[in-house]
Amino acid sequence: MSSLSRRIDLGRQAVSLRLEYMRRRRSARDPQAPADRLLRDGLVVVPDFFDAAQTAAMREAIPALEECQLSPEGTLTRFFSDAARIGELGAFFACDLVTDTMRSVLGPTAVMHRSTVQYRTVEGHTGAFEHFFHMDTWRPRYKAFLYLVDVTDDNGPFTYIPRTHYGRWRGRYDRDIARVFQAGADGYIHDDASAYVGCLWPHEQAALCARLRTRPRTVTGKAGTLILFDARGLHCIRPLVRAPRIILSSYWIRQGRHT
């Protein structure tokens, strides 16, 4: 496919997705339904989804830090892949609420593309893209995080800006991601251009929040806090003042539609 043909094809896909999710949001009217809240706001937080005993059992089952590999994406995170294969973690990775919600927002081809244990242990600013508000993709991609330790303002809370997962303002960023982003053979980022495409400077983020009448939501909470979010929306991880932050993460896409 020529470069022009590819741009035309991607443009058609983008318009189709924009219209599809506009219809989905308009039909999302149940404030209690996680899928409807996810479509409308881009973020769902469920405190105490697992109790202290359940999260303690999960922490006991996860691989030690030394068994995890360093992320190639420059974040200094260590992760363990295919964590869904660890039976004791099935309460999260095979959870009906997460699975049903992901299938509802993505449709019948929804698949769990990645399941990981993530350790963040490096304190301070690392210069990584994740400390800037950024969007992962222009295609539908949803993630579920489960805090395995208590997360406060000091140990890297997840922060999301509701209602930034859609809107005309995204056009230039979506085009840049489609044009620039290249995942490695392992599905991870291996170059700076791909890492930082989709990032906003702080002044851009502040101006956008004022324009959209929204503001960042920082998610602190006890171990057992569940977070579901649309990865098209702007999000970041705040630098750690105190380590560690340990989470389970699942990452859902439409089959064959990873950016």
Question: DSSP code of 155?
Answer: B
Q: What is the residue-level pLDDT of the chain in tens, covering all 259 positions?
A: 567 787 778 789 889 999 999 999 999 999 899 999 999 999 999 999 999 999 999 999 999 999 999 999 999 999 999 999 999 999 999 999 999 999 999 999 999 999 999 999 999 999 899 999 999 999 999 999 999 999 999 999 999 999 999 999 999 999 999 899 988 888 889 899 999 999 999 999 999 999 999 999 999 999 999 999 999 999 999 999 999 999 999 999 999 777 6
Sequence-ordered list of residues with C-beta below 8 angstroms from that of 163, at least 6 positions apart, any chain? 40, 41, 42, 212, 214, 233
Phi-psi region of 137 (alpha: psi -120 to 50; beta: other; left: phi over 0): beta
The two structure tokens encoding residue 95: 């959870």
Q: Which alpha helices (H) appear in the chain, and where do they start and end?
A: 3-26, 34-41, 52-61, 90-93, 96-106, 171-180, 192-196, 202-212
**d(C-alpha 232, C-alpha 138), whole Å:** 6
Q: Is residue 186 classed exposed, middle or buried when 0-12, 13-18 and 19+ CB atoms within 10 A define those classes? A: exposed
- In this prediction, residue 160 carries a pLDDT of 98
Give, for 69, the enclosing helix (H) or strand (E): strand 69-70
- In this prediction, residue 258 carries a pLDDT of 76
Question: Which of 238, 243, 247, 220 lies closest to 123 in space, CA to CA?
Answer: 243
- In this prediction, residue 47 carries a pLDDT of 98
- In this prediction, residue 1 carries a pLDDT of 58
What residue has token string 């171990």?
Answer: 223
